[in-house]
Structure 1
Amino acid sequence: MNLARFLLKRSIHGLFVVWGVVTVAFLLRFIAPGDVISVVAPIDATPEIRQALADELGLHKPLYIQYFDYLVNLLQGDMGYSYISNTEARTRIFARLPATLELAFAGTIVAIVLSIPLGVLSATRRHTPADHGATLFSLLGISTPNFWLGIMLVLIFAVQLSIFPTSRRPVGLNVAMASLLFELNVNPLLQWVHHITLPAITLGTYFTALITRLTRSEMLDELGKIYIDAVRAKGIPEVLVQYRHALRNALIPVITVLGLQLGTVIGGAVITEAVFSWPGLGTLIINAVNARDWPVIQGSLIVIGAGFVIVNIVVDALYASLNPEIDNE
């Protein structure tokens, strides 16, 4: 099976996963406590007004008809209208999505930059203070709740030391990059980095600890294999042995975990956004849940689910390119 066929197979699987997410998101409205009409209608609405609202929203139709209509509307890009703002749910969701993607991207970069060198150092300096320090850091990172770490970082670096701001997203990454490329103005990018540093560290810490431990384990496994001894016997410098040969093969499961942990990153982003008042999708979901704004809730869950599937397909492509035997499975 070639790579294109392998990815086609994964894409078909992904479509079924997205369909499952859509189905679950649709059913949540009927499973969760509370009445949609009570959210939309005025407090003093008469039964006639409530019935008219139910007819307008299509809630009087059988469940399977509502489900079919929902699927048809989704295929046309229609996620419905927000019950609270009476604006398109799609517009509200995609307006907030860049902020969440920026935070997830920054958190992932923090994790990769810190974890892979730490994992390699820990594996190549086994049973030394460096190894023990990296292991202790991993244990602390996995054990520390995101919300507590975020609050502590705000108290120390924002309130006490006044190094970083407590919250806010003054400019988007796209605007910052456009200013850098077309106006040669680096200030917006520096401002973006300044504001996203604490949220990114908060989000990336758990991720960093996990990848550090995984990189260490995989590096130890690779360094103990026969081909490494053969490479060393050729007189190749130890740095190249570690990074060009051992690390390349050790990164295969690491890349897989990076993709699979996207859900954890986005889940952590919800809490992190709340701590730092970051105007992303997580904050939007929390506000929508409090207001029972189901079109926004459902649309947000679908976008997150579809993003998860897309990232996993990309991970599969990287995995197959690093290990060509995978696409034959």
Structure 2
Amino acid sequence: MSTYQFLIRRGLQGLLVIWGVITVVFLLRFMTPGSPVDFVAPLDASPELRAQIARNLGLDQPIYVQYAQYLGSLLQGDMGFSYIRGRPASGIIFLRLPATIELAVAATVVAIIFSIPLGVISATRRHEPADYAATGFSLVGISTPNFWLGIMLILLVSVGLGILPTSRRPIGLVPAMEMLIFQFETVGIQTWIRHMILPAITLGTYFTAMIVRLTRSGMLDQLGQPYVKAARAKGLPETLVTYKHALRNTMIPIITVLGLQLGTLIGGAVITEFVFNWPGLGTLIIDAINVRDWPIIQGALIVIGVGFVVINIVVDALYARLNPRVSLE
């Protein structure tokens, strides 16, 4: 099977998964208490006015009719109209999405920079102080809740030391005048980095700790393989054996996890965004839940689900491309 055939097959499977996500998200509105009418209608609204609002929202139709209309609207790129915000839901969601992607990518970069070197050092210096320090860090990182870490960083670094800002950055991929703006001047980049450091560390700490453990276990497995012993017997430098041969083979599962975790970071940035008042999908979803703004909630969850599917397809294709022993079948 060629790469194109593989991608076509995975794409069809991904469409089925996306259809399942859409269905589940649609049904959530009927499974949760409360009605959008309660937040749209005035407090003293008469039953007739409430019924009229329900008709305007399409809530008076049978569920299968609403489901068919919703699918038809999504196929046309229409995620519904937010009566709470008075704007189409798709426009609001896609203006917030870049900020979430920006934070997820920054957290991934932080994880890669710190986790892989720590994992290699931990594996090559097994049962030494460096190994114990790396494994201890990974244990603490995995056990630390993101919201607690974010609050502690704000109190210590921002409030206590006054080094870094505490909340959303004034520049970057942010909604402003219906456009995405980023200032590439030196001052702009410095401002962006200062605002990005604490949220990226908060979101990427768990990710970093997990990759450290994965790199360590993978390196220990590869360093015991016959090809490593043969390379050492030939007199190759230890640095070359470690980084060119052992680490290269270890990177294949790490890349897979990196891709899959990127999707997790996009969907799991809700708490971090809330702590740092980040203008992304996380804060948008929380605000929408508080007022039962279902077009926003459904649209945001569908976008996150589609992101997971796309990233999974890309990672699977990349994994098979990097490892010739893995068949696309």
TM range (shorter): over 0.9
- CA deviation digits over 1:180-234, x for unaligned, max 9? 3xxxx21111110110100000000000000000010011001100111122223
Q: TM-score, normalised by structure 2?
A: 0.95
Worse-superposed segment, 171-180 or 58-67 = 171-180
Partner Cα separation in structure 2 for residue 267 and residue 131 of structure 1: 32
Residues 282/176 of structure 1: CA separation in 2 closer, same or farther (3 Å cut): closer
Q: What is residue 324 of structure 2 aligned with on the other side?
A: 324
The question of whether the paired residues in 2 share the 8 Å contact of 1:3 and 1:327 is answered with no
**C-alpha offsets along residues 295-316 of structure 1, whole Å, 9 cap, x if unaligned?**
0000000001111111111111
Aligned to 2:81: 81
What is the CA–CA distance in structure 2 between the aligned matches of 1:311 and 1:267, rounded to whole Å? Answer: 12
Between the aligned partners of 2:43 and 2:252, the Cα distance in structure 1 is: 57
Q: Match for residue 303 of structure 1?
A: 303
Cα distance, 1:66 vs. partner? 0.8
Q: Which residue of 2 aligns with 1:5?
A: 5
Distance 2:183 2:32 in 1: 45
Taking the aligned partners of 1:38 and 1:324, their CA distance within structure 2 comes to 58
**Residue in 2 that maps onto 1:150:** 150
1:268, distance to aligned residue in structure 2 (A): 3.6
- Mapping 1:284-303, distance limit 5 Å: 284-303=284-303
Aligned residue type for 2:312:
N
Match of 1:36 in 2: 36
- Cα distance between partner residues in 1 of 2:267 and 2:66: 29
Partner of 1:134: 134
Q: Please give the residue correspondences for 1:98-137 in structure 2 after superposition, counting only pairs within 5 Å.
A: 98-137=98-137
Correspondence for 2:212: 212
Equivalent runs, 1:127-276 vs 2, <5 Å: 127-173=127-173, 179-180=183-184, 185-276=185-276
Distance, in Å, in 1 between the alignment partners of 2:180 and 2:289 is: 32
Number of equivalent positions: 325
For the 8 Å contact 2:97–2:281, the answer to whether it is kept is yes
Alignment root-mean-square deviation, CA: 1.7
Deviation of the 1:78 alpha carbon: 0.2
1:83 is displaced (CA, Å) by 2.6
1:176·1:188 contact (CA, 8 Å) conserved in 2?
no
1:55-93: CA deviation from partner (whole Å, max 9, x where unpaired): 222112111111111011001000011131110111111
Show CA shifts across 1:86-122 (max 9, x none): 1011111111111111110100110111101100110
The answer as to whether partners of 2:171 and 2:182 remain within 8 angstroms in 1 is: no
1:228-286 superposed Cα distances (whole Å, 9 cap, x missing partner):
11222232221121111111111111122222223532344111111111111100000
Check 1:56–1:159 CA distance in 2 against 1; reply closer, same or farther (3 A cut).
same
CA distance in 2, matches of 1:4, 1:163: 50
* Deviations 1:12-55 (CA, angstroms, capped at 9, x unpaired): 11111111111111111011111222222112222221222222
Structure 1: gaps spanning 5 or more residues: none
CA distance in structure 2 between the partners assigned to 1:72 and 1:268 by the alignment: 29
Instruction: Measure the CA separation in 2 of the matches of 1:73 and 1:173.
Output: 28
Contact 1:203 1:265 in 2 (8 A): yes
Distance, in Å, in 2 between the alignment partners of 1:176 and 1:235 is: 54
Q: Which letter does structure 1 place at the counterpart of 2:85?
A: S
CA deviations on 1:154-190 (whole Å, 9 max, x unpaired) are 111101111100112210158999643xxxx211111
**Change beyond 3 A, Cα 1:313–1:211:** same
More displaced stretch, 214-223 vs 257-266: 257-266
Distance 1:96 1:209 in 2: 28
- Cα distance in 1 for residues equivalent to 2:31 and 2:272: 28
Tell me by how many angstroms 1:290 deviates: 0.4
More off after superposition, 317-326 vs 23-32: 317-326
Are the counterparts in 1 of residues 169 and 191 from structure 2 also a CA contact under 8 Å? no
Name the CA distance, whole Å, in 2 between partners of 1:115 and 1:64.
49
Relative distance call for 1:176 and 1:160 in structure 2 (3 A) is farther
The worse-fitting range, judged by mean Cα deviation, of 141-150 and 54-63 is: 54-63
Q: Which residue of 1 aligns with 2:314?
A: 314
Equivalent-residue separation in structure 1 for 2:167 and 2:145 (angstroms): 19
Residue range with higher mean Cα deviation, 190-199 or 33-42: 33-42
User: Relative to structure 2, which stretch is displaced further, 231-240 or 189-198?
Assistant: 231-240
